[in-house]
């Protein structure tokens, strides 16, 4: 490792932080544009002018927007996400459990999906344009093309209702035994796997096929290596950068894009938490969740970038 790499990495990280700051401004501005305000949302149908005024005063909604932004940013930087306006609970504590649930689900979906996608991609390349390739691609594309809720409902129908192998609702809670927890997340994890599978698998296939056209692969074939060894030793290492990129994109999706799956399977994760608070106009929570999602997305992208840099010999050894 030499200093140009360190410099590149440092640049990426700095860029990421800058981006995050910009996102925080956007999130804050966005939540201000939403119609209605928190006081109205909390009181709902029962809002009378005097109770509205009381609540607005109490929640500090009368301050100018920029002041509230800096106040909020200062809090976030010191780890204080504030308290939820609607329930008065500490946001950081309630998010911790939810975030852990989401990460838990994403982790197990990824453990299944990533190796499966890459192996399927490799197999598809090995038998490219044959029926195996077409079958794998066809099935993967089909499962991705169906909307998530459809896949979810089909899984529930067969596995939860007809055969009753797995539970159809995935309520997990603290202190739930590991085995039960795994059983509870089986169906949502399967749904997520099916959703992200094709993207990664197709990308693996395309990246490796691209490399397969190069002269050194031909040389490897000519010196008598088996088809799988050619892919494993020569093609795959050179195709790894785009694959890592797409894997990271999908991991990010597993964390920030699971709202629909969480709702269908009644999984207590971040997505459901966000939706509940958006409808209540609970701005501090929406901001906190938005920021966490943005941070996850940006940091996974940074990791993808760094991995691509490290994996690329031309970037590792610049002229």
Partner 1 sequence: MSNELEFLSRRVASGKLSRRDFLGRAAALGISAPFANSMLSSAARAAGPVKGGTLKAGLVGGESTNSLDPALFMTQVPFAFGKMWGELIVELSPEGKLENRIAEEIGSSDDAKVWTLKIRDGVEFHNGKTVTAEDVAATLERHSDEKSKSGALGYMKGIETIKASGKEVVLTLKEANADLPYLLSDYHLIVQPNGGKDKADAGISAGPYKVTTNEPGVRHGGERFANYWQGDKMGHADQIELIVINDATARTAALQGGQVNMINRVEPKIVDLIKRLPGVTIRNHAGPGHYVFIMHCNTAPFDNADLRMALKLAIDREEMLDKILRGYGSLGNDFPINASYPLFTEIEQRKYDPDKAKFHFKKSGHDGAVLLRTSDVAFPGAVDASQLFQQSAAKAGIQIELKREPGDGYWNEVWNKQPFCASYWGGRSTQDQMYSTAYLSTADWNDTRFKRPDFDKMVLAARAELDETKRKQMYHDMAVLVRDDGGLILPMFNQFIDATGAKVGGWVDDPHQELMNGYALAKCWLEA
Q: CB of 26: closest distance to partner 1 in angstroms?
A: 19
Interaction of residue 273 with partner 1, rule CB under 8 A? yes
Q: Residue 33 or residue 215: which is nearer to partner 1 going by CB?
A: 33
Question: Under the criterion CB under 8 A, does residue 33 sit at the interface with partner 1?
Answer: no
* Long-range pairs, 223-231, Cβ under 8 A, ≥24: 227/126, 228/122, 228/126, 231/122, 231/125, 231/126
# of chain residues touching partner 1 (CB under 8 A): 44
Interface residue with partner 1 among 282, 283, 291, 294 (CB under 8 A) is: 282
Minimum CB distance to partner 1 smaller for 46 or for 145: 46
Cβ closest to partner 1, residue 282 vs residue 305? 282
Please identify, among the stretches 8-16, 104-112, 277-285, 295-303, the one whose residues bind partner 1 according to the rule CB under 8 A.
277-285
Binding marks (x or -) toward partner 1, 99..138, rule CB under 8 A? ----------------------------------------
List the one residue from 156, 194, 239, 243 that touches partner 1 (CB under 8 A).
156
Nearest residue (CB) to partner 1, 93 versus 210: 93
Q: Would you count residue 153 as binding partner 1 (CB under 8 A)?
A: yes
Cβ proximity to partner 1, 101 vs 250, nearer residue: 101
Do 47 and 40 touch, CB atoms closer than 8 A?
A: yes
Q: With contact defined as beta carbons under 8 Å apart, do 113 and 250 qualify?
A: yes
The residue (of 11 and 89) whose beta carbon lies closer to partner 1 is 89
Listed ranges 152-160, 217-225, 298-306, 310-318: which one lies at the site for partner 1 (CB under 8 A): 152-160
User: Tokens at residue 119, please?
Assistant: 């192996």
Interacting residue ranges for partner 1, rule: CB under 8 A = 35-36, 40-48, 50-51, 54-55, 84, 86-88, 94, 98, 153, 156-157, 160-161, 164, 167-169, 171, 173, 263-266, 268, 272-273, 276-277, 279-280, 282
């Amino acid at each position: 490792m030499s200093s140009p790499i360190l410099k590149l990495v440092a640049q990426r990280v700095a860029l990421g932080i800058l981006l995050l700051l910009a996102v925080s401004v956007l999130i804050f501005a966005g939540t201000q544009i939403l119609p209605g305000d928190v006081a109205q949302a909390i009181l709902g149908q029962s809002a009378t002018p005097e109770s509205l005024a009381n609540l607005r005063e109490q929640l500090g909604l009368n301050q100018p927007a920029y002041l509230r932004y800096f106040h909020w940013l200062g809090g976030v930087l010191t780890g204080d996400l504030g308290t939820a306006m609607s329930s008065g609970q500490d946001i950081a504590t309630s998010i911790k459990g939810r975030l852990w649930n989401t990460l838990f689900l994403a982790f197990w979906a990824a453990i299944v999906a990533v190796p499966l996608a890459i192996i399927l991609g490799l197999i598809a390349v090995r038998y490219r344009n044959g029926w195996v390739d077409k079958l794998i691609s066809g099935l993967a594309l089909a499962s991705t093309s169906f909307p998530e809720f459809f896949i979810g409902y089909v899984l529930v129908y067969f596995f939860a209702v007809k055969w009753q192998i797995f539970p159809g609702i995935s309520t997990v809670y603290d202190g739930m035994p590991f085995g039960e927890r795994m059983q509870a997340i089986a169906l949502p994890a399967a749904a997520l796997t099916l959703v992200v599978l094709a993207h990664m698998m197709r990308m693996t296939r395309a990246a490796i096929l691209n490399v397969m056209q190069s002269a050194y692969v031909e040389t490897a074939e000519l010196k008598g290596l088996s088809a799988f060894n050619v892919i494993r030793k020569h093609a795959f290492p050179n195709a790894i950068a785009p694959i890592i990129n797409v894997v990271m994109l999908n991991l990010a999706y597993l964390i920030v894009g699971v709202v629909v799956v969480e709702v269908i399977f009644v999984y207590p994760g971040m997505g459901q938490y966000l939706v509940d608070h958006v409808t209540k106009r609970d701005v501090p929570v929406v901001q906190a969740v938005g920021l966490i999602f943005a941070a996850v997305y940006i940091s996974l992208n940074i990791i993808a970038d760094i991995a691509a840099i490290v994996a690329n010999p031309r970037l590792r050894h610049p002229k």
